[in-house]
A and B are shown apart, each in its own frame.
Chain A
Amino acid sequence: MLPASTSSKHNEKQERQIQMAKRPNRFLSFLNSKKVVPYIFITPFILSFLLLTLYPTIKAIIMSFQSVLPGQITFIGLHNYSRVFNPTFYKALSNTSIYVFFTVVILVVMPIILSVLLDSKFVKFKTIFRASLFVPALASTIVAGMVFRLMFGETDTAAANQVLNWIGLSSVDWRYNAWSGMFLMVLLCSWKWMGVNILYFLAALQNVPQDLYEAADIDGATMMQKFRYVTLPFLKPITIFVTTISIINGFRMFEESFVFWEAGSPGNIGLTVVGYLYQQGIQQNDMGFGAAVGVILMLIIFLISFIQLILTGAFKKEGA
């Protein structure tokens, strides 16, 4: 039934009569009313949110207070959480944080510079450069990781070591040092996502009004000044978007590590928080413990995203 409105019942009656005359089926016209349609449109989202996000989130929180064994679930309070804070978890957390720091810096700063240049009159063959920078995103992390493993092999004959030898340095056991292990993960991620982020920034650059540059030209602004005072402010929303996504994805990193070391890296140099979650929750079948790791990860991501969104004032711009 249509909701009864307090004002002008008469009008509504008339309106309904007109509607009825046009469309004899009341149910159909109910389904087509502007009040109902948006809810029908977003029904898939509501269903998927309830079933595939809200329910598992709550379940994960509950599970983190339980010991989950096949056919036997017992409530064990904070025991999982007290176990989580151990040296291995700290190692995973510090690995992940270092990884996030480097990938965010690289994947925000470089794409800004490169996209501004790609948008300028300086560069020829823009389409070719844009396309070739995007190609890495097409390869799966698994395939890319395998290529990187072969290029950064331990032997003197692998590409990376060949280059090192040519310039007079000695070969590196890439996958067995803490620093080079981190280097490999950061490199793989930067290589893969650079082109995607460049595209985001290129898209945003299209929104910068050209007359602002002309005005700046008249004022005799240098190139750096134009970049600083015209371009950068317009890139702010997309920079926030890219930074947020990069931080979140950085904390969720798993595949880069998995593809280099599978189950375990020497001295856990490649262990990440999600890798730890996978190891404990799936491989060791300790789901309660895995869930606790997950809940802590979720809190970390929320905290960082909120701090970052508040600092950058992104909330004010919502709804736009």
Chain B
Amino acid sequence: MKRNHNRALKWIVNLSFVVIALIALFPILSLVLSSFRPASELMRNGISLTFDPKTLNVDNYSYIFTQAGDYWGWYWNSVAITAITIVLSLFFSSMVGYALALYDFKGRTLFFTLVLFILMVPFEILMLPLFQLMINMQIVNTYTAAILPAVVAPIAVFFFRQYALGLPKELMDAARIDGSTEYGIFFKIMLPLMTPSLAAMAILLGLGSWNNFLWPLIVLRSNDMFTLPIGLATLLTPYGNNYDVLIAGSVMTIVPIIILFIFFQRYFVAGLTVGGVKG
């Protein structure tokens, strides 16, 4: 009796997950499917559940590959900005998080509180003065301006601190006895131990940077400096949307990130899990 009951429950739960997964995937799948449909039809009908399979073609893709002049420039900007952001912010944030977790020093609590404080200050408020600062530093419309605010990511510092708290402190003492410098300990021993957390954060920071919209929108001024999200948004004009570039272009935006995700997924989940969020 109990067994049957459990089995029924199992079916219901599993079926609901299939439904939920389909809902989660539907917009992305319909985006991919739509990218093979004529732009004019999308313009007229939007994304519909019914369509004529005979109308499917690759025109939209051949258009971005051959004619959408700026698209590949935007692509390159996004790739470059994201790559630099990931490398720099992993480097600096892990260093800060590690120090906050494993060294006793004056002001340690104060600095950790400051990290939490930055998490709470909405970036949007700092935007206007930061924009002025960038104007004064004469770096508006450069990669530097787009990257600078993300170099020390408070959320990453917070996460790395939580992770580093779980690292064996005895290793540091052992290495010191062996004559290693403090920097050697960090780069040669502790940082490799933090690899899972680095992978997890690489994905989250990479996603954030790749999809970042508001700050690049303000600080990047010319068409050739735009990143993908801004470039795509400029195509979303009230006067006749360029759905051909837009749809195929959007698919091309998601593809690299999905590849990255599939590649790192294992580390990602492990990183979040082991580091745990301890409170």
A binds B: yes
Chain A residues with CB under 8 Å of chain B are 22, 32, 34-35, 37-39, 41-42, 44-46, 48-49, 51-53, 55-57, 59-60, 63, 114, 117-118, 122-124, 128-144, 146-153, 155, 157-159, 162-163, 191, 194-195, 199-200, 202-204, 206-207, 237-238, 241, 248, 251-252, 254-255, 258-259, 262, 274, 277-278, 281-282, 287, 290-291, 294-295, 297-298, 301-302, 305, 317, 319-320
The answer to whether B276 and A207 have CB atoms under 8 Å apart is yes
Chain B CB count within 10 A is highest, among A41, A60, A149, A162, for A41
> Closest approach, in angstroms, between the C-beta of A204 and any C-beta of chain B?
6
Bound CA span A41–B123, Å: 24
Tell me which residues across on chain A come within 8 A of B142, comparing CB atoms: none
Contact B47 A159 (CB under 8 A): yes
Query: How far is B129's CA from A295's CA once the two chains are assembled, in angstroms?
Result: 12
Q: Nearest chain A CB to B91's CB is how many angstroms away?
A: 9
The answer on a CB contact under 8 Å between A41 and B96 is: yes
Chain B residue numbers with a CB within 8 Å of A132 are 21, 24-25
**Is B46's CB under 8 angstroms from A157's CB?**
yes
In angstroms, Cα B211 to Cα A294, docked, is: 23
Known A-B contacts A146-B236, A290-B128; A204 and B277 likewise in contact (beta carbons under 8 Å): yes
Identify B253's interface contact among A60, A140, A194, A320, CB under 8 A.
Answer: A140
Q: B193 interface residue, CB < 8 Å from A?
A: no
B218 to chain A, nearest CB (A): 7
Given contacts A52-B148, A63-B129, A140-B210, 8 further A-B contacts (CB under 8 A): A35-B105, A128-B21, A133-B24, A147-B30, A163-B49, A202-B269, A277-B125, A294-B125
Write 14 A-B pairs (CB below 8 A) sorted by A numbering.
A22-B179, A37-B182, A42-B95, A42-B96, A132-B24, A147-B47, A157-B46, A191-B27, A202-B269, A203-B273, A203-B277, A297-B122, A298-B125, A302-B120
Residues of B within 8 A of A138 (CB): 207, 254, 257-258, 261
Q: Are A123's CB and B182's CB within 8 A? A: no
Closest to A38 in B: B103
| B128 near A281: Cβ-Cβ < 8 Å | yes
Query: Chain A nearest CB: distance from B23 CB in Å?
Result: 8
**A133 contacts which chain B residues (CB < 8 A)?**
20-21, 24
User: Which residues from chain B contact A200 at a C-beta distance below 8 Å?
Assistant: 272, 277
Residues from chain A with a CB closer than 8 A to the CB of B67 are: none
Going nearest first, the 4 A-B pairs with the smallest beta carbon separation are A153-B46, A140-B211, A294-B125, A41-B99
Specify which of A52, A150, A203, A295 is in contact with B130 (CB 8 Å cutoff). Answer: A52
Whether a CB of chain A sits under 8 angstroms from the CB of B34 is yes
Bound state CA distance, A44 and B96, in angstroms? Answer: 8
**Nearest CB on A from B15, distance (A):** 11
Q: Does B77 contact A (CB under 8 A)?
A: no
Contact B125 A45 (CB under 8 A): no
B69 at the interface (CB under 8 A from A): no
Find the residue from B24, B111, B114, B152 having the highest chain A CB count within 10 A.
B24
Roughly how many angstroms separate A41 CA and B96 CA in the complex, as a whole number? 6
Shortest Cβ gap from B141 to chain A (Å): 15
Q: How far is the CA of A144 from the CA of B173 in the complex (A)?
A: 50
Contact (Cβ within 8 A) A123 B17: yes
- Say if the beta carbon of B50 comes within 8 Å of chain A: yes
Partner of A143, one of B108, B250, B276: B250
- On whether the beta carbons of B279 and A237 are closer than 8 Å, the reply is yes
**Contact between A294 and B124, CB atoms less than 8 A apart:** yes
Q: Are B9 and A32 in contact (CB under 8 A)?
A: no
Question: Which residues on A sit within 8 Å (CB–CB) of B207?
Answer: 137-138
Q: A146-B246, A274-B122 are in contact. Are A117 and B13 (CB under 8 A)?
A: yes
The contact string, 1 if C-beta is below 8 Å from chain A, for chain B 176-216, is: 00010111001000000000000000000001001101100
Knowing A133-B20, A135-B28, A142-B233, the reply to whether A305 touches B120 (Cβ < 8 A) is: yes
The CA of A168 and the CA of B14, in the complex, are separated in Å by 29
Q: Which residues of B in the span 77-115 have a Cβ within 8 Å of any Cβ on A? A: 92, 95-96, 98-100, 103, 105, 108-109, 111, 114-115
B221 within 8 Å of A (CB atoms): no
Q: Which residues of A contact B210 (CB under 8 A)?
A: 140
Check A136–B24 contact: CB distance below 8 A.
yes
Task: State in angstroms the CA–CA spacing of A139 and B250 once bound together.
Answer: 9
Bound together, the chains give a CA A237 to CA B17 distance in angstroms of 26
Task: State the Cβ distance, A28 to closest chain B Cβ, in Å.
Answer: 9
Q: Which residues of B contact A52 (CB under 8 A)?
A: 126, 130, 148-149
Whether the pair A151, B27 counts as a contact (CB closer than 8 A) is yes
B229-240 CB contact bits vs A (8 Å, 1 = yes)? 100110010100
B169: which A residues are within 8 A, CB to CB? none
Determine the chain A residues whose CB is within 8 A of the CB of B109 once the complex forms: 319
With A122-B9, A147-B27, A148-B27 known to touch, is A158 a contact of B279 (CB < 8 Å)?
A: no
Question: Which A residues touch B148, using CB under 8 A?
Answer: 52
Chain B residue contacts of A305, Cβ below 8 A? 120
B residues near A141, Cβ cutoff 8 Å: 211, 213
CB of B48 within 8 Å of the partner chain? yes
- Measured CB to CB, the closest approach of chain A to B167, in angstroms, equals 14
Cβ of B223 within 8 Å of any chain A Cβ, yes or no, is: no
Which one of B114, B129, B218, B229 lies within 8 Å of A140 (CB-CB)? B229
- A131 touching B265, Cβ below 8 Å: yes
Bound CA span A317–B278, Å: 10
Are B129 and A60 in touch, CB under 8 angstroms?
yes
Chain B residue at minimum C-beta to C-beta distance from A51: B133
B121 near A143: Cβ-Cβ < 8 Å = no
A143 close to B31 (CB less than 8 A): yes
